[in-house]
Chain A
Amino acid sequence: MSEHLITPEAVGAPTAHCASCPIYNSAQLVKLGIDITGYDYVVALAGNPNTGKSTVFNALTGLRQHTGNWSGKTVSRAEGGFRFRERRYKLLDLPGTYSLLSTSTDEEVARDFILFGRPDVTVVVVDATRLERNLNLALQVLAITERVVVALNLVDEARRHGIEVDARSLTRDLGVPVVPMAARRGEGVPELLAAVADVASGAYPTRPRRLPLRDPEIERAVAALTPQIEAAFPGLPNARWVALRLLDGDESIARAVADGTLGAAVAPPPLPVAA
């Protein structure tokens, strides 16, 4: 195993809120039950069940973590923190799911957090031995947010099966960093931290792969609806996805559009008041 030249450090006591704090979505996060006091960035961990999400979580946060439930839900939640390159990151482990579209509570929790919580980075942990299956969720996440890093985990297991994943091509195809990892052995952790930091700060401009619709009729409907959603929610990063969900009859998204929950995250950060 390689030397860890870069390691996450435990987060110390919360410091005063900084004026240049990148987190601008605190109201929505508070509504989702997340306290971001003392943190610069929020990072969510998504992934299919059993891809090593908890292992990645532990590798990043060490013992600085606690567990509870998502507010109002019986779905358990782990949260923790780490510090990297002078920035403090809050990390949330989302429920393991195959999708963000179906009706299970787990999927709703994961989807709502990415959609309304607007994490600065969503790390999608994928299983290198089952890439085809895992990319379904990765592409769904990319449809909602462009701030994504793919943690290509279990590469040791894949190697044992004679599978070598070309992470560089996958990075190009998905338009976001893909970091090969064997999280249980700590391999790839420094590289994951660097990728998360670069996407969080904007130093790595992502170009998320978004799938075209094959049905011209649906494409026309989406093209008609998307600008209306953009007009209602200026700056919304996923108007096209919202349009598709509305056309699909997704009631919870329709509610979020009607009551404004969808747009609450869009407000620009309050300007620091000059003394």
Chain B
Amino acid sequence: MSTMRAQIPVQSAARRPLLARRRLDSERVISWVLFLMALSALSGLAVITAFIFKEGIPIIAKVGLRRFIFSSHWYPLEGEFGILPMIVGSLMVTAGAMVIGMVFGLGCAILLTQYCPPRMVSIIKPAIELLAGIPSVVYGFIGVAILVPFIRDYLGGPGLSVLASSIVLGVMMLPTITSISVDALRAVPKSYIEGSIALGATEWQTTHMVVLKAARSGIVAAVILGMGRAVGETMAVIMVAGNTLELPHSILDPVRTLTSNIALEMGYAAGDHRKALFATGVVLFVIIMVLNTIALRVSRRRSKVKVLAK
């Protein structure tokens, strides 16, 4: 690469040596700056990851991985660190949010792409994307003010619950899922749609048998991003989840998620307790990795089949 670059000024030197030199220098500088920026960003992430693991792994080793993950007793002051209720809480809340986010987000995307005139989409889509900019504390506040009393009065339980958290998170995921799914659905070639219609399919049959299938990997990507937001979201969840340390038995029970646990106790934790919070972070990290891997696998399954069929 560098030898090739060095040759360029030699060739053009005869005609306009100065200009060629200057351009080369500035390009070199820009590429170095970009390289440094990328390097510092990546190393920053690497350091953070390494730090979390360095702080968290020893305490997991001390308590024992099985006890840390499968015990329901979290009494930090007495040295009891079991995070099972929080793992279950995080998974339940995330699953609920995904169902809500997917059903409504995808429904919205299908409506926008298949049944709305393009001009309307170009107005509605940015409006939906704006919703992503609302701070999570606002979603949490609306959840506490309206949703929680509603659940308490009409469905029972304390109101602060898995259900409330799932709904709030699901709504927060909507803009992400909708906007990425819209892009994926729009990218489906028109010829697929026409081909299907011409074979006697109705619009809805075409949508669910052709368009959704063809857009699957994009939709999965949308859901992965939404899921990342759901697992990681803290503020809104703390406000509506109830944050108890019990294992939830129904979706109307209050829960504490992994992220809430870190946020709630970080202020006063010290020693092993503080380390146990980092260990909670490690578990969160692993869960997100696993979920993302599964989702990616799902989205790639189709192309694998293709390769095999050849």
A binds B: no
Q: Which B positions have Cβ atoms within 8 angstroms of A?
A: none
